[in-house]
């Protein structure tokens, strides 16, 4: 009986574990222009878990909305990557990560 309970517990635990957690994320990039899209997407290219086909740039609002898997990458990593490329992202500045701001 103990073995049955242990096996049942393990099966329930395995079924309850999340393997993916896809979320939407909007990043405010105030200095971004349409000519900067490639630099921003290039900065995010190294991260797995980011759906590159989901990028939606809003040049009026200076935002990028994308889908990402929070089990593979954190939002803060995405903000830091953009800041390292020279753009402020959701308040994370290039200077705070030792990068030179883009003009």
pLDDT in tens, 78-97: 999 999 999 999 999 999 99
* Per-chain mean pLDDT for the chain: 90
Closest CA to 70 of 80, 78, 62: 78
Closest CA to 74 of 29, 28, 38, 21: 21
Instruction: Report pLDDT digits (tens) over 54-65.
Output: 999 999 999 999
At residue 19, the pLDDT reads 85
Residue 81 host element (H or E): helix 75-84
CA pair distance 64, 44, nearest whole angstrom = 11
Domains of the chain and CATH, by start: 20-95 (3.30.70.100)
């Amino acid at each position: 009986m103990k073995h049955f309970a242990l096996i049942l517990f393990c099966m329930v635990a395995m079924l309850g574990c999340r393997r993916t957690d896809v979320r939407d994320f909007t990043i405010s990039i105030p200095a971004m222009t349409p000519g900067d899209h490639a630099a921003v997407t290039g900065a995010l290219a190294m991260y797995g878990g980011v759906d590159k086909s989901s990028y939606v740039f809003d040049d009026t609002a200076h935002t990028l909305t994308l889908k990402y898997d929070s089990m593979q990458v954190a939002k803060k990593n995405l903000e830091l990557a953009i800041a390292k490329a020279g753009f402020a992202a959701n308040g994370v500045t290039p200077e705070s990560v030792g990068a030179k701001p883009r003009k």
